[in-house]
Chains A and B, each alone.
Chain A
């Protein structure tokens, strides 16, 4: 275990170096560029054995990564925002072909307008493609999550692609003190890559990615759903095992001062760091505040979230993206749906915030808790969906 100072991107590049994938096919985009760029430096310095393919677009990046993966290689790429969007066509192909690709995804707002700063609209746009989606709060989590991701994706019950996200600029470009594992530890932890039905195995020739008509498409998609459902327990098991081996445990979400809380916020990513401070300040003022920081958005752990929130009086779900359904953001929609199943449920509101990297600070989070208090006093929810911090 070594203590180093690294930005989110540097930490992910370092994890990639230790993972030493067979193939990386990448194209740059702010704020993810550095991950593949630093890694390319490792390639040219001979520190990894990776075949590095500098492709002409993100569509090609994902295509080449999928091709490499089904050929029998451990393959990775990294992107953000419009880059992920350009990969749109290929993302469900990766999951349909059960390619266990591990991809750092740096959360950045989707155009238009063009914006290079943090929000979750890019990752949320890809939530229906059969990719596991893990949100990192900070640089340490980014590093640890990327390493666990290899085991999660390649697990025999899963075999799905996985994106490990960090918040653009906030985490990707900010330096933090982290602990890294030894090269040997990472190498033995991830083990060798295996795949049934590899294009490069000439002793067992296969066809990958054939056409299906109305009679078989459904049967090929159903197992992807099954694998996603199975991924939940695998993620928990791997998170516990990581803790036993390396001292830092991970689960589906983090409960912060939630046990006896009356009011809480549900949040993804780096905002949880700020929220923790807000919760502590409120607790000092005797407000029973808490936080649920969701780590795993896909698969969505509905039952566990419902159980964690059921006894609260009011909950604010913070979305750093809008799904433009006119009914709120994606996290709100899914948390609320999870609570439908429990008899005892809190009042629940949505706060859409921080689009295009608009900052959210402690006083603002405290004011959101203030809104929850108002709901409790009045007994009514004025607005289910609140656009927080936009100039009206």
Chain B
């Protein structure tokens, strides 16, 4: 549990370092989670483009994995996956 800062310790004017969203884990918000099928995937990166939470990890132009710490399970990745059958399936996240 991080120690809470006093008002004098805060940076002025509600200014925060950028990119701090990474530390705020929203993964536990989801109901369903995306599951990737590496056999079917053609690495078109549609899912990476459309993910609203930047939760598709890509390296060297190829899909690597989902960021389950931040994925909120919206399923847009599955909707936009062009392969038939789809390379992404939304399953209940127990």
Contacts and interface: CB of A to CB of B under 8 A. Distances in A.
Main secondary structure on chain A at its contact with chain B? loop
Interface residues of B, number: 16
B17 A215 contact: no
B82 to A, nearest CB: 34
A223 B11 contact: no
B7 A223 contact: yes
B15 interface: yes
Contact of B14 (A196, A205, A210, A215): A210
B12 A98 contact: yes
A320 to B, nearest CB: 33
Interface in A208-251: 208-210, 212, 215-216, 218-220, 222-223
Given A215-B4, A219-B7, A207 B13 contact: no
A210 B20 CA distance: 10
Interface string B17-35: 1111000000000000000
Nearest to B18: A205
B92 interface: no
Nearest to B15: A197
Contacts of B13: 70, 96-99, 159, 197, 208
A97 B16 CA distance: 11
A197 B7 contact: no
A206 interface: yes
A238 B73 CA distance: 57
A39 to B, nearest CB: 27
A99 B19 CA distance: 22
B49 interface: no
Interface in A180-212: 196-197, 205-210, 212
Contacts of A99: 13
B91 interface: no
Contacts of B11: 196-197
B10 A206 contact: no
A206 B17 contact: yes
Contact of B20 (A159, A207, A223): A207
Given A98-B13, A205-B19, 17 more contacts: A97-B15, A98-B12, A98-B14, A159-B12, A196-B11, A197-B15, A205-B18, A206-B18, A207-B15, A208-B15, A208-B16, A216-B4, A216-B10, A218-B7, A219-B5, A220-B7, A222-B7
Q: Which 8 residue pairs are nearest across A and B when measured between Cβ atoms? A: A98-B13, A205-B18, A197-B15, A219-B7, A222-B7, A207-B16, A97-B13, A206-B15
25 contacts: A96-B13, A96-B14, A98-B13, A98-B14, A159-B12, A159-B13, A196-B11, A196-B12, A197-B12, A197-B15, A205-B18, A206-B15, A206-B17, A207-B15, A207-B19, A207-B20, A208-B14, A208-B15, A216-B4, A216-B5, A216-B10, A219-B5, A219-B7, A220-B7, A220-B14
